[in-house]
């Protein structure tokens, strides 16, 4: 089994968010895919199988399967465009979150994702304690999205991951209005055995709708200010979000495994 290691939302290796990608003739067992994800020890391992004109795509964290992942979708499309569908201009994936289409846009790959509906919830002392910064607003979709007025604290904060795991939401994000970018953020996945997701695509399906409304603009340039860092070119399209970024190949490996 070939396994491609791709840095997504990155312009060079060691930036952005690393994902493992396996393109297969058929799916192995869920148990084996989870073991591969655990062994890879990345935030996501993606498994793609050709399905008619499209590809069926599944994402596994070391903690289990997830319903939506942006950076691993970007990484998978990069691998397919480069090695499997070299003449294609777009690829559609069938996923747990419905069909997702990725289109070549110059040097960028643009993904069409569903936007999460956000409900504002009360800020609690537990949120302040978990993030280690003052939270001014809290919103809940699939994930918890917290807003802070202290943008300078976001890159350097050291959250308490055990306390984050006790908060609402599958993932926990923190965001602030940016200066060089429209917004900055970080994403944490303690419930999925991933302390921090360096650049989170599905997280921006929460972050972009919030800032598009707050700033009164459809196009958002977002920066994830994790230690690796990454930039996302985003646009609101009704109930959908387009996320665009670049990707680079780090390695290609052969996995010596049998079921």
Place of tokens 């596994």: 60
Q: Which two tokens stand for residue 154?
A: 């976001």
Catalytic (active site) residue 53:
no
Catalytic residue among 15, 44, 110, 196: 44
Query: CA 244, CA 238: separation in Å to the nearest integer?
Result: 17
The number of angstroms, rounded, from the C-alpha of 111 to the middle of its chain's C-alpha atoms is 11
As annotated, the active-site residues are 44
């Amino acid at each position: 089994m070939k396994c491609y290691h791709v840095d997504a939302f990155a312009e060079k290796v060691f930036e952005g968010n690393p994902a493992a990608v396996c393109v297969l003739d058929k799916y192995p067992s869920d148990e084996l895919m989870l073991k591969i994800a655990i062994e890879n020890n990345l935030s996501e391992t993606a498994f793609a199988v050709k399905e008619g004109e499209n590809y069926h795509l599944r994402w596994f964290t070391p903690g289990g399967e997830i319903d939506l992942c942006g950076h691993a979708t970007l990484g998978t499309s990069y691998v397919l465009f480069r090695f499997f569908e070299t003449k294609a201009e777009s690829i559609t994936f069938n996923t747990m979150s419905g069909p997702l289409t990725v289109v070549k846009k110059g040097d960028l790959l643009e993904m069409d994702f569903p936007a999460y509906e956000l409900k504002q919830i009360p800020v609690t002392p537990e949120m302040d304690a978990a993030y280690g910064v003052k939270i001014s607003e809290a919103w809940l979709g699939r994930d918890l999205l917290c807003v802070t007025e202290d943008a300078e604290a976001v890159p350097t904060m050291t959250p308490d991951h055990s306390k984050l795991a006790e908060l609402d939401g599958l993932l926990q994000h923190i965001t602030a209005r940016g200066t060089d970018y429209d917004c900055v953020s970080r994403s944490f996945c303690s419930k999925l055995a991933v302390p921090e997701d360096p650049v989170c695509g599905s997280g921006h399906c929460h972050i972009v709708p919030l800032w598009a409304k707050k700033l009164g603009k459809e196009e958002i340039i977002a920066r994830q200010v994790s230690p690796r860092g990454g930039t996302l070119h985003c646009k609101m399209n009704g109930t959908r979000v387009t996320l665009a970024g670049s990707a680079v190949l780090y390695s290609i490996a052969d996995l010596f495994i049998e079921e």
